[in-house]
Amino acid sequence: PATTLDQLVSLCKRRGFVFPSSEIYGGLQGVFDWGPLGVELKNNIIASWWRTNVYERDDMEGLDAAILMNRLTWRYSGHEETFNDPLVDCRDCKSRWRADHIKGRCPNCGSTNLTEPRPFNMMFKTAVGPVADADSFAYLRPETAQGIFVNFGNVLATSSRKLPFGIAQVGKAFRNEINPRNFLFRVREFEQMEIEYFVMPGTEDEWHQRWLEDRLVWWESIGIPRARIRIYDVPPDELAHYSKRTFDLMYHYPTLGYEEVEGIASRTDYDLGSHSRDQETLNLTARANPNRESTARLTYYDPESKRHVVPFVIEPSAGVGRCFLAVLAESYDEQMVKAPPAERISAVSDALEAFLKSVGRSDKLAPETRDALLERGHAILAGMPETMPQIEALLAMPGAEQVELGKKLRGQAQGLVDEHFRTVLHLKSHLAPVRVAVFPLKRNHEGLVAMARDLRRSIQVGSFFRTVYDDTGAIGKLYRRQDEIGTPYCVTVDFQSLGDGTVTVRNRDTMQQIRIPASEVRAYVSNPS
Ligand code: ATP
C-alpha cells in the first residue's frame, strides 16, 4: 500500500487520474475533475457497486433522482435546521475553520484567539428560474438519500415490492465544507453510492448486521481486505439525532490514518415519517419533523397484519471519491526490479541531502511547508534505496518547486528510478482503467503495427472493458507505464507472431509472460479476477 498521500496525489497528477477543477484559472478549492484514467476507474468502482447491490440481489431497485429538489424536502428532512458544522474565525489572521477539526489552535498562524463556534449550514443555495426571490430558492442536494425517500411511494407503487426491499442510487452531492482538504477526501462536490433498505419495524437490528456483513464482502471484492477496515460502532453521544445505531467503516488512509469511507446507519422510521402527512395516525417511533405540507403518507400495506406501517430504514452510504482513494492507496506499490549500483545510490542520496539542506536554509518557504518537506525528505533518505521512487512525490509537494536544487535531484533520481524501480497498482482487474494494452515490438514495422492494431480492435469490440494500443516507446517503458496505472495484461506482437499467430501476454503482478494464439487473448483477459 501507499505510505503517504503525496504518492497518490503525484500519481494522479502525472498520469491524469484527477485534475484540479478549472485549473487554468487557478482552480476552485475542494473541487476536482476526473481525467481519462480517473473516469475509467471511478466508473468501474460504481459499476461494481451497482452489480453487487442491484443486479446480484433479489430485493433491490435502482433510482436516479435529480440534484435539484423542492426546498420543502430539506425542511422536512431536517437539513435546514441541523445540517450544520461548527465554524470558528481566527481573530488574528482572519482565517476560518471547522471547530472540531483544529483543537483550539489556528492551523494557519498558531493563534488560540478564536471566536466561539457558531453553526454554519453546509448546503449550497441557488435560484431556479429568472427571478431570484423566496419562491425560486433551492439547494444543491447535500446527500442523495432524500431523493430516495421522497420517491418511496412511486417505487413501491410501480415495482410491486414487498418488505424488505431497497433502493440504490449513485449521484452527485454538494457540501459547502468549511475547509476542504486532503485531496479527494474532503471536497465540496462529490458522488455518493447510497442504499436505503426498507424493513419491517422490529427487524432493523438484524438487517443492520446483515448489511454490515454484505458491505464488508463488497469492500473485499474491490481489494480492501477486512483487516484493513476498522468498524467504528458510533457511541450514542456521537450519533446523529435520527440514528438508532451507526457503524462507520474506517479505512486506514496513508498520512490521514483511520477515516470514514462508509457509514451504515439504522435510521428507524424518521425519514419516511418526517416526509409524511397525517403523522399522528402513523404510530411513529422516531421524533419526526411535524409536516403539514407533504401530500403523501409514505407507508407500506402489510398484507399479513392488514395494517399500514412506516418501514424502518437501514442506510449504507459510501463516497465514491473516498472509495477511489482507498482503492488507489491499497493497490499502490513501489518495487525495486533490480538493485541499482551502490555509487549511483549514493549520488542520489547526496543530491537529496543537498536539497534538504537548501530547504532548511530557504527563507521563501512557510514554516509548515518547510517542515513537511524536511520530514518527508528525511524519511526517504532513511529508507534508501527502496524509497527512491518517492522522490518524485517529494518534488511534487507544495514549496518544492521554490527550492533550487530540486532540478538536480530530479536529474539524479529520474533515470535510476526508471531503470530499476517500478510503480504498480495491483488493482482488481474489473476495476483497472485499462484491462489490456497491445504493443507492436517495433513501431516502424508495418506488419507488426497492423497486427497489433487489429488485435486491439478485436479484443475491444463487444467488451465492457478498455483496451488500448501503444507504440510510443520501447517495450520496457511501455510495460512500466501500464504497471503504474494498474493494467493487468500487456500483449506484445513480435516477429514470431507474424509467422505463427501467437503473441506474448505479460502479467502485471508476476511480470511473467506466456505465449498464446492471438485469437485466444480476448477470452484469456475477459476472465475477471
Ligand atoms: P464526515 O464526518 O467525514 O464529514 P459524514 O459523516 O458527514 O462525513 P455522511 O453524511 O455519512 O458523511 O456521508 C456518507 C459518505 O459520503 C461518507 O462516508 C463519505 O464517504 C462521503 N462524504 C461525505 N462528505 C464528503 C466530502 N466532503 N467529501 C467527500 N466525500 C464525502
Please indicate, yes or no, whether residues 267 and 353 belong to a single structural domain of this protein: no
> Tens digits of per-residue pLDDT, 121-156?
999 999 998 888 878 899 999 999 999 999 999 999
- DSSP letter (8 states) at residue 520: G
Say how many domains are in the chain: 3
Domain range for 506 is 436-526
At residue 355, does pLDDT exceed 70?
yes
Task: Report the binding-site residues for ATP.
Answer: 175-177, 185-190, 260-261, 319-322
pLDDT number for residue 130: 86
The residue whose C-alpha atom lies closest to atom 25 belonging to ligand 1 is 186
Strands in 175-329 per DSSP E: 189-199, 229-233, 245-253, 257-266, 300-302, 307-309, 312-319
Q: Would residue 105 count as lying in a domain? A: no
* Ligand 1 binding pocket mutation candidate from 260, 315, 317 (most atoms within 8 A of CB): 260
Q: Would residue 204 count as lying in a domain? A: yes
pLDDT number for residue 52: 98
Q: β-pairing, 436-440 with 467-469?
A: parallel
Please indicate, yes or no, whether residues 305 and 413 belong to a single structural domain of this protein: no
pLDDT number for residue 372: 92
pLDDT number for residue 403: 87
Q: Would residue 183 count as lying in a domain? A: yes
Which H or E element spans position 49?
helix 36-50
pLDDT number for residue 131: 84
Task: Report the binding-site residues for substrate.
Answer: 98, 143, 190-194, 315-319
CA 215 to centroid of ligand 1, rounded, Å: 17
Please indicate, yes or no, whether residues 362 and 509 belong to a single structural domain of this protein: no
CA 147 to centroid of ligand 1, rounded, Å: 17
Please indicate, yes or no, whether residues 56 and 193 belong to a single structural domain of this protein: yes
Please indicate, yes or no, whether residues 189 and 272 belong to a single structural domain of this protein: yes
CA 265 – CA 242 distance, rounded (Å): 9
Q: Would residue 152 count as lying in a domain? A: yes
* Closest among 439, 482, 477 to 459, alpha carbons compared: 439
The residue whose C-alpha atom lies closest to atom 30 belonging to ligand 1 is 319
pTM of the predicted model as reported, rounded to 2 decimal places:
0.93
Please indicate, yes or no, whether residues 45 and 171 belong to a single structural domain of this protein: yes
CA 303 – CA 301 distance, rounded (Å): 6
Cβ-based neighbour number of residue 46 at 10 Å: 16
> Tens digits of per-residue pLDDT, 317-348?
999 999 999 999 999 999 999 899 999 999 99
Task: Report the binding-site residues.
Answer: 98, 143, 175-177, 185-194, 260-261, 315-322
CA 120 to centroid of ligand 1, rounded, Å: 16
* Ligand 1 binding pocket mutation candidate from 31, 190, 232, 258 (most atoms within 8 A of CB): 190
> Tens digits of per-residue pLDDT, 381-415?
999 999 999 998 899 888 998 888 888 899 889 88
pLDDT number for residue 528: 60
Please indicate, yes or no, whether residues 456 and 480 belong to a single structural domain of this protein: yes
Q: Would residue 16 count as lying in a domain? A: no
> Tens digits of per-residue pLDDT, 257-308?
999 999 999 999 999 999 999 999 999 999 999 999 999 999 999 999 999 9
Q: Would residue 469 count as lying in a domain? A: yes
The answer to whether residues 494 and 452 touch, using CB atoms and an 8 Å cutoff, is no
CA 211 – CA 249 distance, rounded (Å): 12
Give residue ranges with CB within 6 A of ligand 1: 143, 175, 177, 186-187, 190, 192, 260-263, 317-319, 321-322
Q: Which atom of ligand 1 is nearest to the CA of 259?
A: 3
pLDDT number for residue 193: 98
Q: Would residue 447 count as lying in a domain? A: yes
Please indicate, yes or no, whether residues 367 and 458 belong to a single structural domain of this protein: no
Please indicate, yes or no, whether residues 276 and 358 belong to a single structural domain of this protein: no
Mean of the pLDDT values across residues 191-203? Answer: 98
CA 296 – CA 130 distance, rounded (Å): 30
Task: Classify the complex by whether its ipTM is higher than 0.90, answering yes or no.
Answer: yes
Q: Tell me the percentage of the chain whose pLDDT exceeds 90.
A: 89
Contacts of 79 (CB under 8 A, 6+ apart): 123, 139, 142, 146
Task: Supply φ then ψ for residue 189, to 5 degrees.
Answer: -125, 125
Mean of the pLDDT values across residues 192-202? Answer: 98
Mean of the pLDDT values across residues 25-48? Answer: 98
Please indicate, yes or no, whether residues 175 and 313 belong to a single structural domain of this protein: yes
CA 317 to centroid of ligand 1, rounded, Å: 8
pLDDT number for residue 108: 87
Please indicate, yes or no, whether residues 307 and 237 belong to a single structural domain of this protein: yes
pLDDT number for residue 393: 87
Residue 181's domain is classified under what CATH number? 3.30.930.10
What mean pLDDT, rounded, does the chain reach? 95
* Closest among 118, 122, 119, 88 to 105, alpha carbons compared: 88
Alpha helices in 332-431 (DSSP H): 342-361, 367-382, 390-395, 406-420
Task: Supply φ then ψ for residue 440, to 5 degrees.
Answer: -85, 140
Residue 465's domain is classified under what CATH number? 3.40.50.800
* Closest among 310, 272, 268, 275 to 292, alpha carbons compared: 275
SS3 for 314? strand
The answer to whether residues 139 and 123 touch, using CB atoms and an 8 Å cutoff, is yes
pLDDT number for residue 529: 54
The answer to whether residues 479 and 396 touch, using CB atoms and an 8 Å cutoff, is no
At residue 463, does pLDDT exceed 60?
yes
Cβ-based neighbour number of residue 227 at 10 Å: 8
Which H or E element spans position 63?
strand 60-63
CA 319 to centroid of ligand 1, rounded, Å: 6
Q: Would residue 126 count as lying in a domain? A: no
Q: Which atom of ligand 1 is nearest to the CA of 260?
A: 18
